[in-house]
Amino acid sequence: MSEGIFEGLRCTNGGPILSHLIYADDVVFLGRWSLENALNIRRILRCFFLASGLKVNLAKYSMFGVGINDEEIKFMADCMNCKKGSFPFKHLGLIVGANMNLIRNWKPVIDIFKSRLSIWKAKSLSYGGRFTLLKSVLNSLPTYFFSLYKAPAKVIDALERIRRTFFWKGSDDNSYMSWMAWEKVIAPIEYGGLGFGSLRNANLAMLSK
C-alpha cells in the first residue's frame, strides 16, 4: 500500500490515507473507485498467496460502492470475482450503513438483552445475584453500539425497562414491587445508589471519548 500500488482514501486535507482495516481474520479495503485500483487489490492478494501459501477466497468477499450506481458495482464485482454488496450490512456484529436514528435498527441490542436474561433464569436468583449479573454482564452488552452511535431515547428507555424489571422481579410477570426509584438505584454508590449507572450517560460518555 505504501508503494502507491493501491490508492486509499485520504481522511482529511493533509491527513493520513486509509487503505485497509484489519481485525483478526476480517479485512476491509477502502480506496478510490477505479478498475485499476480493484485489479491491483487482486494482484496484491495473489502475491500474498505466493508468499504465504494462504489463498484468499474472493467468492466470499463483497464489493461496496459509496455514491456508485448498482450496475457499476455489479460490473466491478464481476471483475473481482466477488459478490455485489448492499447497504446496510453487518461487520463484526455491527450494522454499517443503516440509519441508527431508527429504533428498529437497535433491535439486535434489545434482543441480546432479553435473551441473556432468559438464559440465566433470573427469577430464581437473589437480589445479590441479579446485582452481580447486571454489573458484570448486562451493563456491558450495548457498549459496542454505544461507542459508535447515539441511541434514540426510546431505545434507552426500553433497555432501562429491561434492567429495572430484571432487578426487581427477575421475570416478565405483570406485577412486581419496586422498593426504590430507579434513578436512585442507578446512582453512584457515594450518592446512595447501587452504582448501576445510567445507560444514557454511558452512551454520551463513550461518544465523547
Q: Is the pLDDT of residue 1 over 70?
A: no
Helix (H, G, I), strand (E, B) or coil at 93: coil
Q: What pLDDT shows up at residue 153?
A: 93
Helix (H, G, I), strand (E, B) or coil at 43: helix
Helix (H, G, I), strand (E, B) or coil at 181: coil
**Which H helix or E strand runs over 95?**
strand 94-96
- Shared domain for 77 and 119, answered yes or no, is no
What is the per-residue pLDDT across 83-112, written as a single tens digit (0 to 9) for each?
898 888 888 777 888 888 998 888 888 888
Q: Is the pLDDT of residue 152 over 90?
A: yes
- Shared domain for 79 and 148, answered yes or no, is no
In a domain, 184, yes or no: yes
Q: Is the pLDDT of residue 166 over 70?
A: yes
Domain span at residue 186 reads 103-208
In a domain, 19, yes or no: yes
CA pair distance 80, 138, nearest whole angstrom: 42
- Mean pLDDT, the chain, integer: 82
CA pair distance 138, 134, nearest whole angstrom: 5
- Shared domain for 119 and 166, answered yes or no, is yes
In a domain, 95, yes or no: no
Q: Is the pLDDT of residue 172 over 60?
A: no
In a domain, 16, yes or no: yes
- Shared domain for 132 and 62, answered yes or no, is no
In a domain, 97, yes or no: no
Last residue of a domain, one of 36, 56, 86: 86
What is the per-residue pLDDT across 107-151, written as a single tens digit (0 to 9) for each?
888 888 777 766 556 667 777 777 777 777 767 778 888 888 999
- Shared domain for 45 and 79, answered yes or no, is yes
Q: What pLDDT shows up at residue 204?
A: 92
Residue with the bigger pLDDT between 200 and 2: it is 200
In a domain, 173, yes or no: yes
145 alpha-carbon distance from chain centroid? 5
- Shared domain for 107 and 200, answered yes or no, is yes
Least confident of 48-57, 184-193, 195-204: 184-193
Residue with the bigger pLDDT between 5 and 47: it is 47
Last residue of a domain, one of 86, 119, 144: 86
Give the number of domains in the chain.
2
What is the per-residue pLDDT across 68-83, written as a single tens digit (0 to 9) for each?
888 999 999 988 888 8
- Cell 443503516 belongs to which residue? 98
Nine cell digits for residue 119: 438464559
Segment 3-12 shows an average pLDDT of 80
In a domain, 98, yes or no: no
- Shared domain for 161 and 203, answered yes or no, is yes
- Shared domain for 177 and 128, answered yes or no, is yes
- Shared domain for 80 and 111, answered yes or no, is no
- Shared domain for 142 and 189, answered yes or no, is yes
